[in-house]
Amino acid sequence: MLQRGAYGSVNFAANRSLFAVSAFAARANCFLSSRKKPLKIQQKTMSSRFIPSKRYDGVDRNVWIEFTTLAAECKAVNLGQGFPDFSPPEHIKQALADVAAVDSVATYQYTRGVGHPRLVKTMSKLFSPLFGIEIDALKDILITIGGYGALYASISAFIEHEDEVIIVEPFFDCYEPMVKIAGGIPKFIPLKPKSKESAGTSAGWTLDRDELEKMFNKNTKAIIINTPNNPLGKVYSREELELIAEMCIKYDCLCISDEVYEWLLFEDNKHVRIASLPGMWDRTLTIGSAGKTFSVTGWKLGWAIGPSQLIKHLQTVWQNSVYTCPTPLQEAVARGFETEMSRMGTDESYFKILPEQLQAKRDRMVQVLKDFGLKPIIPQGGYFLIADISSLNVDLSDSKDSGDAWDYRLVKWLTRNKKLATIPTTAFYCKEHRHLTEKYIRFCFCKEDETIEKMEKILKEWSKSM
């Protein structure tokens, strides 16, 4: 909750990003030092009328801001936030360099608001056979600022006051606040291990048919799923998606399918797009991310793909909020996709190279965690794994963060005392279901082997002192 201070003023300080604050301070210092006379500094006051919209009540805490800041402050080995610390493929870097080298109005200036023409045309060629439908480049795709932007556009376009939205847990944390800000009511259903034996792999965590059906009613507007899943690494099977599709059709609901890790599959797991199942194209919005696809999360480019009658409403949200995405990045991603299409199925394909590399990193991390005595759940895809850490005997009784869930406190303790940054798993659950995974934490394995070695060293040292 925002803290309301004396005289109705609002304390925003806790929510300021370190970067924004330091950049502002640097600019202010520079300006001040260039003046002869010192500036008369004004008293800082805030009118009691500047209370933010009620829509944002209760959604100010953000796990990424909190734990990324802490990891940086503690100079910890960062296995927290989901970004690769290795280089993206050469061809995508070269594509951006080539775009920057051309002196052309076409790449310096605004491009088409809802998607750069070369990018949407290339994506239509790439994705049409994968979805099993002819994707109209100009009508069935919206290019956004990251997968995040596409989620925001999808939820804002369709969710109204009191609409119920089913969210499958564990879920990428922004789904819940986005639904609430739109006025909707999130309803949560957790994936659960079928049995003790099956709990060790993400494939063993499933939805129960009866429990799922009970979640739907006449007020249900949409369901949000994520495959491959962050943080569990679950890849939904065709049968599981058919069950979700059956419910969506029966209850006439939208499906928002977050598929930002669509290329990252291990062993013989296959990515099934729910939009490609019978009756689903017309009710599904599929979310993707160039950041995750090409290991360039800082480019923050994503998309939503779906039927024109849905996408046109996302386009309305976009043209009235952000309007357009950076032209050079869209042009570079278009060229990146073109290169990948020419390499599809070959050993040069990044969509083959990256999952192979990640699978080896996953296996290495799993071994390190097991050697230390933890129980990792083996993911079928994505960047992440969660591990059962209930065997850790850490005394958190004098922790400063006593109001937090156990995993929040443990992750802070690990970051501060062992210089190992991870992410608490309860961030991916609603308040009522947090007890289900309070004894798990999330590790990100899209990291250099060196980073995983550093983690191993920390855990080995710790073992010796136990």
Ligand X SMILES: Cc1ncc(COP(=O)(O)O)c(C=O)c1O
Cβ closest to ligand X, residue 387 vs residue 427: 427
Q: What is the dihedral of CA 443, 425, 181, 432, to 10 degrees?
A: 170
Question: Of 334, 442, 464, 333, nearest to 383 (Cα)?
Answer: 442
Q: Is 375 left (phi over 0), alpha (psi -120 to 50) or beta?
A: beta
Cβ closest to ligand X, residue 204 vs residue 291: 291
The three state secondary structure string of 334-375 is HHHHHHHHHHCCCCCCHHHHHHHHHHHHHHHHHHHHHHHCCE
Is residue 177 at the binding interface for ligand X, with CB under 6 A as the rule? no
- Per the listing, tokens 């502002």 go with 24
CA angle 181, 184, 190 (to 5 degrees): 105
82, 89, 170, 233: which one contacts ligand X (CB under 6 A)? 82
Is residue 226 at the binding interface for ligand X, with CB under 6 A as the rule? yes
Cβ closest to ligand X, residue 220 vs residue 289: 289
Report in angstroms how near the CB of residue 62 gets to ligand X at its nearest.
Answer: 13
Question: Of 220, 206, 216, 170, nearest to 433 (Cα)?
Answer: 170
67, 127, 131, 148: which one contacts ligand X (CB under 6 A)? 148
Interface stretch with ligand X, choices 145-153, 156-164, 419-427, 456-464 (CB under 6 A): 145-153
Cβ closest to ligand X, residue 79 vs residue 458: 79
Report in angstroms how near the CB of residue 145 gets to ligand X at its nearest.
Answer: 7
Spatial separation of the C-alpha atoms in residues 290 and 116, rounded to whole Å: 14
Report in angstroms how near the CB of residue 126 gets to ligand X at its nearest.
Answer: 17
Is residue 260 at the binding interface for ligand X, with CB under 6 A as the rule? yes
Spatial separation of the C-alpha atoms in residues 445 and 387, rounded to whole Å: 12
Cβ closest to ligand X, residue 146 vs residue 306: 146
Is residue 327 at the binding interface for ligand X, with CB under 6 A as the rule? no
Cβ closest to ligand X, residue 152 vs residue 406: 152
Spatial separation of the C-alpha atoms in residues 104 and 363, rounded to whole Å: 46
Number of residues that bind ligand X (CB under 6 A): 14
Is residue 297 at the binding interface for ligand X, with CB under 6 A as the rule? yes
Cβ closest to ligand X, residue 333 vs residue 410: 333
Contact assessment for residue 263 and residue 293, using Cβ atoms and an 8 Å cutoff: yes
Spatial separation of the C-alpha atoms in residues 41 and 463, rounded to whole Å: 54
Strands in 375-376's sheet, in edge-to-edge order, are 375-376, 384-388, 440-444, 423-424
Is residue 443 at the binding interface for ligand X, with CB under 6 A as the rule? no
Report in angstroms how near the CB of residue 172 gets to ligand X at its nearest.
Answer: 4
Question: Of 4, 41, 94, 90, nearest to 350 (Cα)?
Answer: 90
- Binding to ligand X by CB under 6 A, coded x per residue (else -) over 227-256, reads ---x--------------------------
| The two structure tokens encoding residue 119 | 């990018």
Residues numbered 267 to 296 that lie near ligand X (CB under 6 A) are: 289, 291
Which helix (H) or strand (E) segment holds residue 55: the answer is none
Pairing assessment for the beta strands 301-305 and 284-289 based on DSSP bridges: antiparallel
Cβ closest to ligand X, residue 216 vs residue 428: 428
Cβ closest to ligand X, residue 171 vs residue 406: 171
Is residue 302 at the binding interface for ligand X, with CB under 6 A as the rule? yes
Report in angstroms how near the CB of residue 86 gets to ligand X at its nearest.
Answer: 17
Is residue 115 at the binding interface for ligand X, with CB under 6 A as the rule? no
Positions touching ligand X (CB under 6 A) are 82, 146-148, 172, 226, 230, 258, 260, 289, 291, 297, 300, 302
